[in-house]
Chain A
Amino acid sequence: MSTKQILEKFEPRRENLLMILHALQDNHPQHYLTEEALGETAKHLKLTKSSVYGVATYYSMFSLKPRGKFVIRVCVSAVCELMKGQEVIGHLENVLGIKSGETTPCGTFTLEIAECLGQCQEAPSMMINEKVFNHLDEQKIRKVITEYRKW
């Protein structure tokens, strides 16, 4: 879908800004908000580009940089840390060959940290795009990443 087609689905009111940014980001194969998309959004809502930029940069789920096809978000909150969640990032960094915050050169995976994902009864946890993975250990992480690499 084009940016214009997405924008037309929302009434031009400021209260729709976050929903619009979600829709635009979800629609982009690289899961990010392009400068063009932010500009078009500002025009559609009759807001300044700076105020749209201000909102887009405030919320951690929005990215202004291209990301991988799969965005991995690892929970780093208290419970996951207690349940050895710190090791999850290390395992992922090893398997993917990138550091937290980076994207693999092939453009498949982006590794990010996230605050509590609310999966504490089965910690440690991560999300890949919309899907949640719990009870993570090195073996499970390798298996999940191998599966996703086939896509």
Chain B
Amino acid sequence: MIKETRITLKNVGKINPESIDDYIAAGGYAGLKKALKMEPFSIIDEVLDAGLRGRGGAGFSTGTKKKFTSRSCQTCPQRYVVVNADEGEPGTFKDRVIMENDPHLYIEGTIIAAYSINATKGFIYIRGEYTGSIDKTRKAIAAAYERGFLGKNILGSGFDFDLELKLGAGSYLCGEELTMLESLEGKRGHPRIKPPFPAEKGVFGAPTLVNNVETLSNVPLIIANGKDWYKQFGTERSPGTKIFTISGKVKNPGYYEVEMGVSLRELIWDLAGGMSGDKPFKAALLGGAAGTFVDASMLDERMTYDNLREKGATLGSGAVIVLEEGDSVYDMLYNCLRFFKHESCGKCVPCRVGTSMLAKGTEKLRNGVPDKRALLDQMVHESEIMAATSLCPLGQSPILPLKSAARYFAEELTK
């Protein structure tokens, strides 16, 4: 029987999110105080050695990202930190839990990240629908300014950092880092071609570090407690913890922070109380719409970035959507593919045309074509072309739910 290991969520429900004193009394801003006495490069090394990987879904090494950003364009007058708080992946609400319950944690992580790459300006980009997160973050920023954790000469260190809150306005695509930068500049949410990566040319053309809320929330803990403390959690290649958000047909849907490497079975039965009804487990959609379906054969696989990738599944944002026997994988898949069609920005042809074709194809699977198996194969092939030729992750995503659904549930999809 596994239990939760709450490190980034340790204050949730225990402190008043609107009280900076509560946060400080719980050990908050100790990481920042320590960081400001360190050399910026040694902060980067600490995060790198701790093995922290981006919690937004890609799982890229956070320390490496910081290193790139701190080293690129030495002559640039300005560097930026951008907090990706545009949490829109269906089934995902981990960042909302942090922002609503412990906003100072990720703000502290942002300030440390800024100091480590010598950025003097940062933006938090929160999706407009997250009214609770916006409210708590706005108050937390104001309190941090009042106490001298933000602004000029932070805690007498000589380091200046300004942090500004920006709101999205209803575009899933803006959660993609380069698209977010376009939106931050006041433009339509169209993705940029990469490279250059944000580390080289980010917001306003300057070197920019883009990190997810959960990722940044780990940073103060790593600095305050050290890399060895952090590495005691999780596995060798995926150290630390991960917040999973479990929804669907389980007894206790919600958010659970566990060490990296637990299995899906443990998540569902040990933490979420098992299936909500009498019916057995049928499938889970891991990582949201841009995620993968798995069936019961995957219940005992370790949930780490690398192991799931090897098995053709994804960890993604940590969303786990559970289906019971009798629930329709077809309906879920159709929902995801309609979603991509709706959210495609239309800038590149493969995604604009492809997402429409896949949505239409799914309808045809239901409405009857002579050879449904051939149609399904063709749809998978189309999604492969999209993955190879689309500009940004949106067009590269439909293949994930489609191919995995076809792999485990072809019979249902073509019946």
**Chain A residues close to B by CB (< 8 Å):** 13-19, 21-22, 45, 54-55, 58-62, 73, 76-79, 81-83, 114-123, 127, 130-132
**Would A121 and B253 be within 8 Å (CB), given that A17-B186, A60-B170, A115-B342 are in contact?**
yes
Number of residue pairs A-B, CB distance < 8 angstroms: 130
Q: Residue of B at shortest CB range from A122?
A: B253
State in angstroms the CA–CA spacing of A78 and B320 once bound together. 11
Contact of A121 with B254 in the complex, beta carbons under 8 Å: yes
What A residues does B89 contact at CB under 8 A? 116
Enumerate chain B residues within 8 angstroms of A45, measured Cβ to Cβ.
186
Tell yes or no: B88 within 8 A of A by CB.
yes
A19 and B166 contact, Cβ closer than 8 Å, known pairs A82-B332, A123-B247: yes
Given contacts A17-B186, A120-B93, contact A22 B332 (CB under 8 A): no
Besides A15-B184, A82-B331, A121-B246, 4 more A-B contacts (Cβ < 8 Å) are A60-B169, A61-B170, A79-B248, A120-B321
Chain B residue at minimal CB-CB distance from A55: B188
Find out whether the CB atom of B332 lies under 8 angstroms from the CB atom of A118: no
Q: Return 9 A-B CB contacts under 8 Å, by A number.
A: A15-B166, A55-B187, A62-B170, A78-B321, A78-B335, A81-B335, A82-B323, A118-B92, A120-B90
1/0 per residue, CB under 8 A from A, across B183-218: the answer is 111111100000000000000100000000000000
Q: Would B93 and A118 count as touching, CB distance under 8 A? A: yes
User: In the assembly, what is the distance between CA of A30 and CA of B90, in Å?
Assistant: 29
* Nearest 6 A/B pairs, CB to CB: A17-B186, A59-B169, A60-B170, A61-B170, A120-B247, A118-B93
Docked CA distance A137–B253 (Å): 18
A59 vs B188: C-alpha distance when bound (angstroms): 8
A82 touches B87 (CB 8 A): no
Which B residues are CB-close (under 8 A) to A62?
A: 169-170
Of the candidates A15, A60, A82, A132, the one whose C-beta lies within 8 Å of that of B186 is: A15
- CA gap between A61 and B189 in the complex, in Å: 13
Given contacts A82-B248, A121-B255, A123-B247, are A59 and B93 in contact (CB under 8 A)? no
Known: A79-B248, A120-B245. A73 touches B129 (CB 8 A): yes
**Contact flag A61-B96 (CB < 8 Å), given A15-B186, A55-B188, A116-B88:** no
